[in-house]
Amino acid sequence: GENVEQHPSTLSVQEGDSAVIKCTYSDSASNYFPWYKQELGKRPQLIIDIRSNVGEKKDQRIAVTLNKTAKHFSLHITETQPEDSAVYFCAASKNYGNKLVFGAGTILRVKS
Amino acid sequence: GAVVSQHPSWVICKSGTSVKIECRSLDFQATTMFWYRQFPKQSLMLMATSNEGSKATYEQGVEKDKFLINHASLTLSTLTVTSAHPEDSSFYICSARPEARGPANYGYTFGSGTRLTVV
């Protein structure tokens, strides 16, 4: 089955700097890759997603890139702010609607 | 749109008792819902896929007789933890996804989660 690896497990950045979180997946049939932000004790919130027919997607300070050949995708957050501090999860699925397999998560700390 | 409601938000039960958790899609129909378990400082682990009108599909290692799933309608799925033990204490969270609507894609939506503590 699908396996998603996520790095780093923790990431500390200074406010205003950029943060990059990387994930790799094992199943070449996966074609939907969302990123979630989860604050302590709360539900995961979708922040951006990408399908395999595009290589990059951007939404204000957040962007996701996908390399299908290498089977990896990355989350980029620019101009980080303290409120960006949370746990971020990547995930993958075969077709939108099928089960999501999550990465282990990255604790992002933005220091002011 | 695309709201999933989950109840209760937290529950404490005695060892050996059963606990039912409800997951409702409020503004869309969900033929499929997903149940996850999340231990502290860990990722979301899929337990089972709940299918409306049919049996749930359980992930490897998840006991179907212990974690009973019922998806009786297009807007409601329930997870019952039977004969709960302290090791079942965890954060249980459901997810559903609206049908993709062209460019507008709500993605998978999660319930608010249920913190189960078995004492």
The three-state secondary structure class of A84 is helix
Tens of each residue's pLDDT in chain A, 112 residues: 889 999 999 999 999 999 999 999 999 999 999 999 999 989 999 999 999 888 999 999 999 999 999 999 999 999 999 999 999 999 999 876 788 999 999 999 999 9
The dihedrals phi and psi of B87, each to the nearest 5 degrees, come to -70, -10
Q: In this structure, are residues B109 and B97 in contact, taking their beta carbons and an 8 Å threshold?
A: yes
Mean pLDDT estimate for chain B: 90
pLDDT digits 0-9 by tens, B1-59: 678 999 999 999 999 999 999 999 998 888 899 999 999 989 999 999 998 888 999 99
Q: Cα(B75)–Cα(A22) distance, rounded to whole angstroms?
A: 35
- Residues of A with CB below 8 A from B32's CB? 97
Q: What does the buried/exposed string (b/e) look like for A25-36 if buried means 16 or more CB atoms within 10 Å of the residue's CB?
A: beeeebbbbbbb
CA distance B42 to chain A (A): 7
Nearest Cβ partner for A49 among B32, B34, B107: B107
Identify which of B5, B34, B39 has the alpha carbon closest to the alpha carbon of residue B22. B5
Q: Do B46 and A42 touch (CB under 8 A)?
A: no
Q: Cα(B66)–Cα(B88) distance, rounded to whole angstroms?
A: 10
List residues of chain B with CB under 8 Å from any CB of chain A: 32, 34, 42-46, 49, 91, 93, 95, 97, 100, 105-113, 115
Q: Looking at this protein, which amino acid is placed at residue B83?
A: S
- Give yes or no for residue B106 having a pLDDT over 70: no
Sheet strands side by side (includes B76-81)? B4-7, B19-25, B76-81, B67-73
Q: Supply the pLDDT for residue A111.
A: 96
- Residues of A with CB below 8 A from B107's CB? 34, 46, 49
Using CA atoms, how far residue B4 sits from A94, A106, B96, in Å, is 22, 25, 7
- Give yes or no for residue B96 having a pLDDT over 80: yes
Q: Cα(A22)–Cα(A64) distance, rounded to whole angstroms?
A: 10
Report the DSSP beta bridge partners of residue A96.
A98
